[in-house]
Amino acid sequence: MTETETKRSANFIRHIVAEDLSNNKNNGKVATRFPPEPNGYLHIGHAKSICLNFGIAEEYQGTCNLRFDDTNPSKEEQEYIDAIKEDVRWLGFDWGAKEYYASNYFDKFYDLAVALIKQGKAYVCELNADQVREYRGTLTEAGKNSPYRDRSIEENLRLFSTMKNGEQEEGSAVLRAKIDMASPNMNMRDPTIYRIRKISHHQTGDKWCIYPMYDFAHCISDALEGITHSLCTLEFADHRPLYDWYLDQLDVGHPQQIEFSRLSLQHTIVSKRKLKLLVDKGYVDGWSDPRMPTLSGLRRRGFTPASIREFCKRIGVTKVDNSIEMAMLESCIRDDLGDNAFRVMGVLKPIKLVIENFDNDKTETLNAPNHPQNEAMGTRPLPFTREIYIDQDDFREEANRKYKRLVLGGEVRLRYGYVIKCHEAKKDENGNIVELRCTYDPETLGKKPEGRKVRGVIHWVSATESIPAEVRLYGCLFSDTTPETAANFEDSISENSLTILKDCRLESSLVNAKLAQGYQFEREGYFCLDSKYSSPEKKVFNLTVALKDTWSKSAS
Active-site annotation holder among 33, 37, 259, 411: 37
- Is residue 262 annotated as part of the catalytic site, yes or no? yes
Q: Quote helix, strand, coil % in the chain, to nearest 5.
A: 35, 25, 40
Q: SS3 letters for 260-293? A: ECCCEECCCCCCHHHHHHHHHCCCCCCCCCCCCC
Asked whether 229 and 258 are in contact (CB, 8 A), the reply is yes
CA distances to 216, 238, 378 from 259, rounded to whole Å, are 18, 10, 48
Q: Checking DSSP bridges between strand 210-212 and strand 192-196, what pairing results, if any?
A: antiparallel
Question: 272 an active-site residue?
Answer: yes
Instruction: State the catalytic residue, choosing from 98, 149, 197, 262.
Output: 262
End-to-end CA distance of the chain: 39
Residues 185-216 as b/e (b if ≥16 CB within 10 A, e otherwise) read: eebbbbbbbbbbbeeebbbbeeebbbbbbbbb
Of 248, 292, 257, the closest CA to residue 272 belongs to 292
The alpha carbon dihedral of 40, 46, 50, 53 has a sign of: negative
**Which residues have C-beta within 8 Å of that of residue 329, sequence separation ≥ 6?**
44, 265, 311
Q: Which helix (H) or strand (E) holds 523?
A: none
Amino acid letter for position 420 = I
Alpha-carbon span 244 to 241, nearest angstrom? 5
Q: Is 151 a catalytic residue?
A: no
Torsion of CA 185, 191, 193, 199, to 10 degrees: -120
Name the residue among 99, 115, 97 with its Cα closest to residue 107. Answer: 115
Give the span between the Cα atoms of 189 and 149, in whole angstroms.
Answer: 12
Residue 326 to residue 268: CA distance in whole angstroms: 9
| Cα distances (angstroms) measured from residue 322 to each of 159, 222, 261, 316 | 47, 28, 8, 11
Instruction: Kindly write down the DSSP assignment for every residue of 57-84, as one continuous string.
Output: HHHTT-EEEEEE----TTS--HHHHHHH
Rounded-to-10 torsion of CA 328, 334, 339, 344: 180
> Taking CA 153 as the corner, what is the angle to CA 148 and CA 156, rounded to the nearest 5 degrees?
55
Which among 151, 189, 272, 421 is annotated as catalytic? 272
Residues known to be catalytic = 37, 262, 272
